Amino acid sequence: SFLYIVPCVLSDLLMLDSSQFPQLDFLLWIFKVVGPSLPLTAVVGEDLILPCSLQPNISAVGMTVEWLRLDQADSTVHLYTDHEDISKEQAVSYKGRTALFKEELLKGNTSLKLSDIQIYDEGTYKCLVKSENWFDDVTLDILAEGSDPVITVEELEVSGGIGLVCESKGWNPEPEVEWLDSEGATLNAEVTQTHRDSGGFSVKHRVTVYNSHSNRFYCRVKQRHYMKGTEVIISVNYLFITVAIVKIHETQSVPPFSFHKKQHLDVTMDIETAHPYLNLSDGGKQVIYGKKREDYCDGECSFDDFVFVLGNEGFEKAFYFEVQVRGKTHWTLGVAKKTVRKKGEIILKPEFGFWTVSKKNNVYSPRASIFLRHKPKKVGVFVRYDEGVVSFYDVDAKSKIYSYTDQSFSEKLYPIFSPDFKRGGKNAAPLIITPVHNTHPHQTDTAGL
């Protein structure tokens, strides 16, 4: 019965010195299997590493490492035991596509490489590691997304129009495809051609553009989980009747909102940190620029020149919150360290403890996603603390605005808000922290995380 409760307190027991507690000799051979807490996103046709490792980093060479698919009956993805891979038990769909990193097993790395991702690889996986005296496992999810949209120039028509074709494959269910001009307006295009096989849905969408249009166009493929798009700038030399694709932007994908929203926490604003002209209401859920507060105390913890307010609570884990920005021409949202400078000039950059997105009229800072072609009414802020990522989303459009990546956090991060000045009444609307619904309207949460 004692060993039965060990997994519940394993992290604490591993910190003890078994030499000082002989009765805890079993600590020499117990371990914990760890993996990512958030789903992995994979592109159809590419390779993916499924992270899994032992803590402490003891050798797994002599152990059994079994990767299982939990949402399928024929579930063995990869089996390693007695120092060799056993293919006899492996599901047919994974044969020839999986591999452990044998040289890394000595370090406790039991990660799996899954090659040539297919749409049917999407699901829940278990990494199970067993020794003679102990076993543990961890589960993780894979989301298989379609390929990057590819734009080709089909022909220069007699009418002067240019035929552009956008193609993408490996989607499930069938995605929507649309063409946009540089202003974000939807272009009239032909009916999408769709083909379905074992690799999922392939789509092909053609549009004819004319000299009256801008020379910058976007093909956007979107689905319940994410959206990807490609930008193309074309130039036409009518003297030689040639067309050149000048630039293709990077694609952007957006993970399912249901995963973000399951990390939502109850966020409120801290009046003690608020600029003297910021007024809070609705239990700290709403902030507006107004009259100077009579109870304002010009302490070290409050902003004076910049109209900001911090959240009441900081976090050292993944968290998500949503803020209504409807009716506003200027605003700033994000997260910050509590120790940021609050007096005088403030620089909104990570090196100064700020991870924010600001809107000033129709200009966003830092540069927003190429897909941000309309005014968001509600913005979601998602912090993946352990991964060093802060992302901003247009909640209604289910699209990414901007992400800070490869960051390193060493202290609590606090939500930060600025409704800015009223700007002659054009920016008088409040910022409102809104309730988070786990499933977005018109979106089904099928991931089960």
Is 31-144 in CATH node 3.10.620.30? no
Higher pLDDT: 259 or 136? It is: 136
**How many CB atoms are closer than 10 A to CB 416?**
26
Assess contact for 376 and 395: CB atoms under 8 A: yes
Opening angle at CA 40, ends 37 and 44, nearest 5: 170
Tokens of 222: 């979107």
Query: Could you tell me if residue 352 is left (phi over 0), alpha (psi between -120 and 50 degrees) or otherwise beta?
Result: alpha
Task: Give the pair of three-digit tokens for residue 85.
Answer: 């891979």
Distance CA 176, CA 259 (A): 22
pTM: 0.51
pLDDT at 275 over 50: yes
Q: How sure is the predictor about 151, in pLDDT bands with cuts at 50, 70 and 90?
A: confident
Which uninterrupted H or E stretch holds 155?
strand 150-156
CATH 2.40.30.260 for domain 150-253: no
Tens digit of each residue's pLDDT (9 = 90 or more) over 308-337: 999 999 999 999 999 999 999 999 999 999
Radius of gyration of the chain (CA): 26
Which single residue is written with the structure tokens 């089909």?
Answer: 154
Per-residue confidence (pLDDT) for residue 157, from 0 to 100: 59
Digit-coded pLDDT (tens) for 97-136: 999 999 999 999 999 999 999 888 989 999 999 999 999 9
The 8-class DSSP code of residue 121 comes to G
- Any idea what DSSP says for residue 5? H
CATH class for the domain made up of 258-434: mainly beta
Alpha-carbon separation of residue 417 from 282, 297, 308, 311, 368 (angstroms)? 15, 19, 6, 8, 18
pLDDT at 255 over 80: no
Residue 132 to residue 126: CA distance in whole angstroms: 19
CATH 2.60.40.10, the chain: domain bounds: 31-144, 150-253
Q: What are the start and end residues of each CATH 2.60.120.920 domain in the chain?
A: 258-434
Q: Using CA atoms, how far apart are residues 308 and 346, in angstroms rounded to an integer?
A: 11
In sequence order, the 6+-apart residues with CB closer than 8 A to the CB of 318 are: 37, 38, 263, 382, 383, 384, 385, 386
Asked if pLDDT for residue 429 goes beyond 60, the answer is yes
- pLDDT for the residue 437: 72
Under the phi-then-psi rule, with left for phi > 0, alpha for psi from -120 to 50, and beta for the rest, what region is 296?
beta
- CA pair distance 288, 304, nearest whole angstrom: 15
Spacing of C-alpha 306 from chain mean position: 30
User: Which of the residue ranges 16-20, 161-165, 409-413 has the most confident prediction, judged by mean pLDDT?
Assistant: 409-413
